[in-house]
Amino acid sequence: MNRIDKTLKEKDNILSIYFTAGYPHLKSTTEIIKNLVSAGTDMIEIGLPFSDPLADGETIQMSSKIALDNGMSTKILFDQLKGIRNHVDVPLIIMGYFNPIFQFGVEEFCKKCNEIGIDGLIIPDLPIDIYLSKYKLIFEKNRLQNIFLISPQTSDERIDYIDKNSGGFIYVVSSSSITGSTNKFNENSLNYFRRLEKMRLSTPKIIGFGISNNENFSIASKYSQGCIVGSAFIKYLKSNGINSIKIFVDKIKNLN
Amino acid sequence: MSYNVNTKGYYGDFGGAYIPEMLLHNIDELKENYIKIISDDSFQKEFNQLLKDYVGRPSPLYFSKNLSEKYSAKIYLKREDLNHTGAHKINNTIGQIILAKRLKKSRIIAETGAGQHGVATATVCALMGLKCIVYMGATDVKRQAPNVARMKMLGADVIAVTSGSSTLKDATNEAMRDWINNPIDTHYIVGSVVGPHPFPDMVARFQSIISKEIKEQLLAVEGRNYPDYLIACVGGGSNAAGTFYDYLDDERVKIICVEASGKGVNSGKSAATTKLGKTGIIHGSKTLLMQTNDGQITEPYSISAGLDYPGIGPMHANLFTTGRGEFISIDDDEAMSAGLQLSQIEGIIPAIETSHALAVFEHKKFNSNDVIVLNLSGRGEKDLENYIKYFNI
């Protein structure tokens, strides 16, 4: 069974953490992954940096820019991840915009992911229709689950369509916003979570965007199987470096 | 085969809508409504009335006797520089503001590079009483102070964008982020034939008035409604799209697109997308763009801020790869000389964007009976400081 499905089957209150590969340092990647896992993170999203991340707020824009200035590239990331499966067993997902993947070659990219033991991809600017008509078979051949996003603006009809065509989980974007822009869920977000709950989707849901503390983590976990934390973690790395990751994870999970 | 957009939003292999789910609602709303709204009689009536009374259309098709003599061909200039606000940009913003009102939007956002599209957007927002926010790279805010002042005088908020490289592509990213954050009340007036479908098609339709007028005007003076050549400069490509629109599938008409090669195609400071670019995704559209081998979008350079964009519209990418259009690159020096020449032999100071198109005559030999229409896309007042500095006038 795919590691993502296995984790979703076995666990609740899943904490998934996003970081940008190449930030804060070019060679931080594997150390961050290992530290996240030993701190109790259930799932990890490795951000492939892009020059023009149009769904991201200033924190991830900043980490992406620094990562690229540090020299991070698709090839270097794959080299760094070689052998990572000797150390960690949690689901690993690469999140990146489509252009760098397209330039690398979608088939070649997926093959590399499979060799390394990547379990899934999140490509925010690859719409589901283009994926289904052009790339689905390549993903399947390489045992990669493609994770789709939905937002409060997504119609019920489209949510059903995404539900039917999704593997792993559905990435529920908590509000109409780019990453890192909210600290507290408003009534609209909560209504949207409730609407989703009533839809009884067959694919598990994980909520992301705007999760920066235990309060949001707990609320989101009530309506879904867990949360993705991104910008808040990048901010934490900026002030605290990569050695005290456990403090951050404990805080989100409220274990300290 | 047509060179115009197909029902799925593609020009050949280019175009489409490569957008995050968070933008899909906005794009779908437009996609489902734009053709219905703009084909409506009352829309057309309001649009054409404003183009006539407010913009000053039709713009003249001027036979340039002096250029024609110098280059021995029949050269006509389509005078978009005489439009209100000084360029073709206003054709599109008039169309989109009427559309936005019919979609019941109360807040308008736009990106701008040199500031021409920002000014054209601020202008129509003032006219229609809608709130206007213009995103402009911090670098451009400094370079284009007079246009920033114009926008502010017209009541717009100008937001200096400091992300990425602080230029046009970053301003476009920031406008898209704003649209993600404001999905209900906001319309994004994209300034060129770029971005996700339906923007390239919609903007081309609003600019197509240029080619419609050329048809009528040529018939009156030449006895035929088509030229042998059309020439236009291409940054994103909106003035070119408007100039070519009605002739895209008329292969009697040869199409010349002029892109900016800055300090030279291979100098590392260039905006010659078809020479340096590869297929990829920029601002939600699959098209040709300048990028590293690793797929990171690179920063273009041209002395003309309006041609300083790392991609071209999907229509133009298709014109290039199919060979329907001939692409000529003109560097800073060639453009500046052509701009000075037109000023001194015709008494018309062109925008530096347009000067690139004018430099084609030094590059390419035409027959003496060739009828050529060049789109004089904008006037040069905004560029005076650049011209003065360059020529040390």
Residues of chain B in contact with residue A100, where contact means CB-CB under 8 angstroms, are: 294-296
Strand partners, B108: B132, B187
What b/e sequence results for B290-309 when a residue is b if at least 16 CB atoms lie within 10 Å of its CB, and e otherwise?
bbeebbbbbbbbbbbbbbbb
Whether A140 is catalytic is no
Range of the domain at A127: 3-147+221-253
Annotated domain spans of chain B: 19-50+89-203, 55-87+208-391
Q: Which residue of A has its CA nearest to B17?
A: A127
Q: Please check whether residue A105 lies inside any domain of the structure.
A: yes
The pLDDT tens digits of the residues spanning B323-378 come to: 999 999 999 999 999 999 999 999 999 999 999 999 999 999 999 999 999 999 99
Residues of chain B in contact with residue A177, where contact means CB-CB under 8 angstroms, are: 22, 180-181
C-beta of residue B236 within 8 angstroms of C-beta of residue B201? no
| Residue carrying the six token digits 């476009």 | B172
The pLDDT tens digits of the residues spanning B77-116 come to: 999 999 999 999 999 999 999 999 999 999 999 999 989 9
Least confident segment among A112-126, B105-119, B132-146? B132-146
Strand partners, B79: B376
Q: CB A52 to CB B24 under 8 A?
A: no
Q: Please check whether residue A201 lies inside any domain of the structure.
A: no
Q: Please check whether residue A191 lies inside any domain of the structure.
A: no
The answer, yes or no, to whether residue A254 has pLDDT greater than 70, is yes
pLDDT band of B164, cuts 50, 70, 90: confident
Output Rg (C-alpha) for chain A, integer angstroms: 17
The pLDDT tens digits of the residues spanning A31-53 come to: 999 999 999 999 999 999 999 99
Question: Which residues have a Cβ under 8 Å from the Cβ of A205 and sit 6 or more positions away?
Answer: A169, A170, A172, A196, A223, A224, A225
Give the distance from residue A247's alpha carbon to the nearest chain B alpha carbon, in angstroms: 30
Identity of residue B380? G
Residues of chain A in contact with residue B164, where contact means CB-CB under 8 angstroms, are: 51-52, 61, 65
Predicted TM-score (pTM) of the model is 0.97
Among the options A10, A52, A56, A69, which is catalytic? A56
Among the options B31, B59, B105, B111, which is catalytic? B111
The pLDDT tens digits of the residues spanning B29-71 come to: 999 999 999 999 999 999 999 999 999 999 999 999 999 999 9
| Residue carrying the six token digits 């040199």 | B114
The Cα A6–Cα A208 span in angstroms is: 20
Identity of residue A144? L
Instruction: Tell me the CA distances in angstroms from A111 to A45, A46, A105, A128, B55, one per residue in order.
Output: 18, 17, 10, 20, 56
**CA A123 distance to own-chain centroid:** 10
Among the options A10, A12, A45, A250, which is catalytic? A45
CATH of residue A97's domain is 3.20.20.70
B72 by Cβ neighbours in 10 Å (0-12 / 13-18 / 19+) ranks as middle
Which residue stretches of chain B are H helix?
21-39, 41-50, 65-71, 89-102, 116-128, 138-143, 145-153, 168-181, 199-207, 209-222, 238-244, 273-276, 314-322, 332-346, 352-358, 384-391
Q: Please check whether residue A174 lies inside any domain of the structure.
A: no
The answer, yes or no, to whether residue B1 has pLDDT greater than 90, is no
Tell how strand B74-79 and strand B61-63 pair up: antiparallel
Q: Please check whether residue A167 lies inside any domain of the structure.
A: no
Q: CB B20 to CB A125 under 8 A?
A: yes
- For helices B116-128 and B145-153, the axis angle rounded to 10 degrees is 10
Which of B30, B281, B283, B298 is the best residue to mutate to test the A interface, defined by the most A CB atoms within 10 Å of its own CB?
A: B281
In terms of phi and psi (left: phi > 0; alpha: psi -120 to 50; beta: otherwise), the region of B125 is alpha
Can you give the pLDDT at residue B305? 87
Q: How many CA atoms lie within 13 A of B88 on its CB side?
A: 34
> Measured at the alpha carbon of residue B363, what is the angle toward residues B359 and B365, in degrees to the nearest 5?
115
Q: Please check whether residue A164 lies inside any domain of the structure.
A: no
CATH architecture observed for domain B55-87+208-391: 3-Layer(aba) Sandwich (3.40)
User: What is the tally of structural domains in chain A?
Assistant: 1
The answer, yes or no, to whether residue B17 has pLDDT greater than 80, is yes
Q: Please check whether residue A133 lies inside any domain of the structure.
A: yes
Whether B163 is catalytic is no
Give the distance from residue B102's alpha carbon to the nearest chain A alpha carbon, in angstroms: 20
The answer, yes or no, to whether residue B180 has pLDDT greater than 80, is yes
DSSP characters over B184-240: TTEEE---SS-SSTTHHHHHHHHHTHHHHHHHHHHHHHHSSS--SEEEEE-SS-HHH
Q: Which fold has domain B19-50+89-203?
A: Rossmann fold (3.40.50)
Q: What is the ipTM of this complex?
A: 0.95
Question: Which residues have a Cβ under 8 Å from the Cβ of B356 and sit 6 or more positions away?
Answer: B233, B258, B259, B260, B304, B307, B330, B334, B335, B338
Can you give the pLDDT at residue B393? 87
Residue A150: helix, strand or coil by DSSP? strand
Q: Please check whether residue A166 lies inside any domain of the structure.
A: no
Sheet holding B325-331, edge to edge: B61-63, B74-79, B371-376, B229-233, B254-262, B325-331
Tell how strand B285-289 and strand B278-282 pair up: antiparallel
Residues of chain B in contact with residue A130, where contact means CB-CB under 8 angstroms, are: 16, 18
The Cα B30–Cα B37 span in angstroms is: 10
The answer, yes or no, to whether residue B199 has pLDDT greater than 90, is yes
Residues of chain A in contact with residue B283, where contact means CB-CB under 8 angstroms, are: 52, 54
The Cα B291–Cα B297 span in angstroms is: 4
What count of other Cβ atoms lies within 10 Å of the Cβ of residue B333?
13
Q: What is the mean pLDDT of the segment spanning A221-246?
A: 96
Which of B159, B163, B168, B190 is the best residue to mutate to test the A interface, defined by the most A CB atoms within 10 Å of its own CB?
A: B163
Contact residues, chain A to chain B, C-beta under 8 Å: 50-55, 57-58, 61, 65, 68, 73-75, 97-104, 124-127, 130, 148-151, 153-155, 158, 173, 176-178, 181
Q: Which residue of B has its CA nearest to A98?
A: B281
The answer, yes or no, to whether residue A134 has pLDDT greater than 90, is yes
Q: What is the mean pLDDT of the segment spanning A153-181?
A: 93
Task: Kindly state the percentage of chain A with pLDDT values over 90.
Answer: 92
The answer, yes or no, to whether residue A256 has pLDDT greater than 70, is no
Among the listed residues B4, B70, B75, the one whose alpha carbon sits nearest the alpha carbon of residue B229 = B75
The pLDDT tens digits of the residues spanning A185-202 come to: 889 999 999 999 999 999
| Residue carrying the six token digits 């609320």 | A219
The answer, yes or no, to whether residue A255 has pLDDT greater than 80, is no
The answer, yes or no, to whether residue B391 has pLDDT greater than 80, is yes
DSSP characters over A171-233: EEE-SSS-TT--SS--HHHHHHHHHHHHH--SS-EEEESS--SHHHHHHHHHHSSEEEE-HHH
Q: CB A51 to CB B297 under 8 A?
A: yes
Whether B285 is catalytic is no
pLDDT band of B162, cuts 50, 70, 90: very high
Which of B24, B178, B197 is the best residue to mutate to test the A interface, defined by the most A CB atoms within 10 Å of its own CB?
A: B24
Pick A178's closest partner by Cβ from B17, B19, B177: B177
| Residue carrying the six token digits 């290992």 | A34
Q: How many CA atoms lie within 13 A of B361 on its CB side?
A: 25
C-beta of residue A228 within 8 angstroms of C-beta of residue A252? no
